[in-house]
Structure 1
Amino acid sequence: MTIPDTLRAASVQLGVASDTPRLDAELLMAHALGLSRNDLLLRQRDLTVPPGFAALIARRLAGEPIAYIIGYRDFWTISLAVTPDVLIPRPDSETLIEAAVTHFVGRAPQSILDLGTGSGALLLAGLSEWPDAHGLGIDASPGALAVAQGNAERLGLADRATFHLGDWALGIEGPFDLILINPPYIARSATLAGDVLHEPDSALFAGAEGLDDYRRIAPDLPRLIAPGGMAAIEIGYDQKDAVSTLLAEAGLRVRALQDLAGHDRCLVATWPSSDGTA
């Protein structure tokens, strides 16, 4: 079969396992050929189906996430290596970077803290956005920190990014202009499906209500946010009120932003000014 025929057949196969079967088939074919997806699409009629493609399709049909199979995921303006040690970066999390870009319009944060850095996605996206900024990424997983450090080196950002093993903000001294936080927020009793079944539990679950880590993080934010700075915090679609209350009780002003699907996804926490505006 030609590559166009093989891609059509693979898309039909993957329709039972993926919401994006054609895209998955193209990404797996490009990976098997050692090409970018764009190169594959431009050259597909001149190429031969590689012998390893069928095995990649089988892995996807078994439920393994595309990002883990091909080993990378695009996020914001950068491409990140990912492994099963880290949560797969998602477009929803880009809402945090968008919030920061809006907050710092006309100026730039000089210091960035990323709590629960995982692959380094948020911190490295921020450093790529602001070339004069330096950042610190904290994670409780040595495996995740190794992935983040490798990403910083591949992106040429290692001289501005530092990664430490840690327990949220415990022992961290601030303040920081920008704090980025994507903690676990799924309730332990939740029924999961799809890619998350393959992702690390430690990056997903946070107690009976999904709020355990927010309760630990919120009290530390006032001492860590610099004057004029902000924290961008990812939340589950139904957690705006509960997490906003925790932040308000810590003395912070809070507003919510929606992701592309219209779900509440990011809480922006700032110091209230004397006139009551953020």
Structure 2
Amino acid sequence: MGTTQEITVWTIVKILDWTRQYFADKGVENPRLDAEILLCAVLNCPRIDLYVHFDRPLSPEELKSYKALVVRRANHEPIAYILGEKAFLDFTFKVTPAVLIPRPETELLVERLVLLNKKRPKVSFLDIGTGSGAISISLLKLLPTAVAVAVDLSQEALVVAEENAINLGVKASWQGVHSNLFQQLAPTSKFSFIVSNPPYIKHNEIALLANDVQKEPHMALDGGSGGLDFYEKIISEAQHYLEEDGLLAFEIGIYQAEAVSDLCKQAGFSKIVICKDYAGIERNIFAAKEGSDYGNALMEIE
């Protein structure tokens, strides 16, 4: 008498439970959440549908597509790279392994710059190390009369950023420049403010970063032996490219506020404001001249 081989039916709840455990065994940080996000991508549905239809079986094609994504995540490829996009503020940006994945704490830098510039009739700004373009493009969406120049040393990153500028409808006021910091800018260029989220991880700490972060471009992470290389270079030249009463704005790493603040003061910026992120970590520095319009406006975010 022959035996009948039992066929496993993979329902939504069953595949999620299996994936959660598999991810946990592989050291994935948010195993259940990531399992749900990937399954939603395959099924093209919101997360709530996974719970409403938890007993729905997956088709062979859906199962195959899902397992392919699971393998990538188990190898610590970031979710944003797997999906090819990342939400930032109210916008969705294309991301690839050529760009750093936009972080929630960087949203605060953008929001504070919007607050500082919302009453200014005309704003031009420079975004150094634009990556995906998240900072410059979001600012243009929120400051409709502004114009931006965005520079990056990576040509691949600029391709991604330009695509995002086109997709989000700001290409007319956004210019990407392939440049190592200021090198390819016209010497006469002047900006209302300069913003940068530069590489700020100490070189010898790169190898200690989480597996997911290791998958991101090291040139967007490595700030040199002390983590301050790019701040030193940008701050030393910033005054030449800023308007008379211009503003300098940075995202900074943990424990870097004092050092970056000192660099700004040495370069002639007499009004310095340091702001914290959601976790209470000093994350943004704004520098202007005391008594300037920006210097006075900084009181709004102190």
Give the alignment's TM-score, normalised by structure 2.
Answer: 0.84
Match of 1:263 in 2: 281
Among the aligned pairs, what percent are the same residue? 37
1:237/1:264 contact within 8 Å kept: yes
2:118/2:143 contact within 8 Å kept: no
Query: Deviations along 1:24-52, whole A, 9 cap, x unmatched?
Result: 1122112223x253575487458653121
Query: Deviations along 1:75-96, whole A, 9 cap, x unmatched?
Result: 1121111111111111111121
2:189 matches 1:174? yes
Match of 2:153 in 1: 140
The structure-2 alpha-carbon separation of the partners of 1:117 and 1:107, relative to structure 1 and needing over 3 Å to count, comes to same
Could you tell me which runs of 5 or more consecutive residues in structure 1 were left unpaired when the two chains were aligned: none
Q: Which amino acid aligns with 1:3?
A: I
Q: Hey, what's the Cα distance between the residues in 1 that align with 2:192 and 2:292?
A: 19
Q: Hey, what's the Cα distance between the residues in 2 that align with 1:11 and 1:247?
A: 47
2:202 matches 1:187? yes
The structure-2 alpha-carbon separation of the partners of 1:108 and 1:47, relative to structure 1 and needing over 3 Å to count, comes to farther
Q: Hey, what's the Cα distance between the residues in 1 that align with 2:103 and 2:277?
A: 11
Q: Hey, what's the Cα distance between the residues in 2 that align with 1:226 and 1:63?
A: 44
Could you tell me which runs of 5 or more consecutive residues in structure 2 were left unpaired when the two chains were aligned: 1-9
2:50 matches 1:32? no
Match of 1:87 in 2: 100
Give the alignment's TM-score, normalised by structure 1.
Answer: 0.91
Match of 1:211 in 2: 228
Q: Which amino acid aligns with 1:201?
A: H
Q: Hey, what's the Cα distance between the residues in 2 that align with 1:108 and 1:6?
A: 54
2:200/2:228 contact within 8 Å kept: yes
Q: Hey, what's the Cα distance between the residues in 2 that align with 1:209 and 1:189?
A: 9
Which of 258, 280, 283 aligns to 1:241? It is 258
Q: Hey, what's the Cα distance between the residues in 1 that align with 2:122 and 2:221?
A: 29
Pairing 1:48-67 to 2, within 5 Å after superposition? 48-49=57-58, 50=62, 51-67=64-80
Q: Hey, what's the Cα distance between the residues in 1 that align with 2:48 and 2:192?
A: 40
1:73/1:82 contact within 8 Å kept: yes
Query: Deviations along 1:101-145, whole A, 9 cap, x unmatched?
Result: 221243465212110001111011101111222111100001000
The structure with the larger Rg is: 2
Residue 151 of structure 1: CA displacement? 0.9
2:178/2:184 contact within 8 Å kept: no
Q: Hey, what's the Cα distance between the residues in 2 that align with 1:119 and 1:48?
A: 37
CA root-mean-square deviation: 2.2
